[in-house]
Amino acid sequence: MTRIHLHLLSDSTGETLENIAKAAIGLFENVEAVRHFWPMVRSDVHLDRIMEDISANPGLVLFTLNNHQLRRRLETRCRALGLPHVAALDTVTDALSNILGQETRNRPGRKHILDEAYFARIEAIQFTIAHDDGVGHENWEEADIVLAGVSRASKTPTSIYLANRGYKTANIPLVPESPPPRSLFSLRHPMVVGLTVSPERLIQIRRNRLLSLNQAPETAYVDLEKVQDELSFARRMFADHGWPVIDMSRRSIEEAAAAIINLFNDRLLAEGGSEA
């Protein structure tokens, strides 16, 4: 096992930087990354404190800093210590600069735009939490996305992930014995997406859930025939209403959410809107 210190510096929340680092580390085997996360780096004093830790734990430094003076200070200190340092977005911004024929610049209204995005995300999270598991169906028209699927098809974690990306998301469990509200079939604004999963995988997830609750792991909830009937019921509903379907059998929550966001943006474009 190879151990590496990874220092992540951002002048914002650092969410983008964390995702880049996570994706990059995931490409390597037998690597233990010790992450040192430094968000909201906006002053020389703060940077100097961080450099003390970097000096004590040398490793790769990844950063996204818009302040040119602060960035130069970081780069100079890293060179003095002989540490590799990478501006994580430079390659992308340079390519865009060449294509667009213009330089990047800090716009006066940027903070206001970021604040709006932040509050929109908070609103999306609050909406999603309040509309989990079929609750509040009378407000579903306000949602961006509604996820439908059988029990334990990863509706809630996918909803929360989408909410963190700024999408108001509701979800509804599909149970053959208890049809969903009729309003589900007449929604106009939200995109309804069906989540499905293979019977074998679903049974495994449900059995693990029962065990975690100290309940008997052999019930109708995990009976193969009944599970197949549930899934067939859900798939018929998806097909009857022309809803796009995401198979969660081999997808992570992140992968499923990315596919759903792509579907959502394709829908916007088809309607003549702009991407979210």
Tell me the binding residues for ADP: 149-156
d(CA 138, CA 170): 11
Residues in CB range of 64: below 8 A, 6 or more apart: 9, 10, 11, 12, 14, 16, 17, 87, 88, 89
Tokens representing residue 200 in the block: 């074998």
Query: Please, what's the b/e burial string for 84-112 (b: 16 or more CB within 10 A of its CB; e: otherwise)?
Result: ebebbbeeeeeeeeeeeeeeeeeeeeeee
- 10 DSSP assignment: E
SS3 275: coil
Closest to 42 in 3D by CA, of 62, 16, 67: 67
d(CA 86, CA 61): 6
The DSSP-derived string for 190-236 is: SEEEEEE--HHHHHHHHHHHHHHTT--S-SGGG-HHHHHHHHHHHHH
Annotated binding-site positions: 149-156
**Tokens 């990874």, located at residue:** 6
User: In the chain, how long is the greatest CA-to-CA distance?
Assistant: 69
C-alpha pair distances (Å), 76 with each of 38, 72, 81, 135: 18, 6, 9, 54
